[in-house]
Amino acid sequence: MNLPLKFPGLAEALATASPQFINLYDDTLPSSSGSAGGAADEIAEGLLAEAATVSPKFFYNELGSKLFEAITGLDEYYPTRTEAGIFEASHAHFTRALASAGITQPCLIDLGAGNCAKAMSLIPHLQPRQYVPIDISVDFLRDAAEQVQNSFPALDIVGLGMDFSAGLVLPDQVQTHDRVFFYPGSSLGNFHPGQALEFLQHIADPAQGKARGLLLGIDLVKSTELLEAAYDDALGVTGAFNKNLLLNVNELLESDFDVRQWRHVALFNAAQSRIEMHLEAECDLTVRWPGHERRFAAGERIHTECSYKYTVESMTALLQQAGFSQVEYWTDPKSWFAVFWATV
Report the C-alpha gap between 234 and 34 in whole angstroms: 42
Report the C-alpha gap between 230 and 255 in whole angstroms: 30
Q: What are phi and psi of 131, to 5 degrees?
A: -120, 130
Write the pLDDT tens digit of every residue in 279-309.
Answer: 999 999 999 999 999 999 999 999 999 999 9
User: Is the pLDDT reported for residue 329 higher than 80?
Assistant: yes
Domains located in the chain, CATH noted = 20-344 (3.40.50.150)
Q: What are phi and psi of 115, to 5 degrees?
A: -85, 5
In terms of pTM, does the model score above 0.85?
Answer: yes
Q: By the 8 A CB rule, do 219 and 337 touch?
A: yes
Write the pLDDT tens digit of every residue in 169-203.
Answer: 899 999 998 999 999 999 999 999 999 999 999 99
Q: Tell me the C-alpha to C-alpha distance, in Å, between residue 315 and each of 27, 162, 186, 218.
A: 32, 26, 11, 8
Write the pLDDT tens digit of every residue in 101-136.
Answer: 989 899 999 999 999 999 999 999 999 999 999 998
Instruction: List the end-to-end C-alpha distance of the chain, in Å, as a whole number.
Output: 34
For residue 18, the Cα-to-chain-centroid distance in whole angstroms is 24
Write the pLDDT tens digit of every residue in 62-104.
Answer: 999 999 999 999 999 999 999 999 999 998 999 999 999 989 8
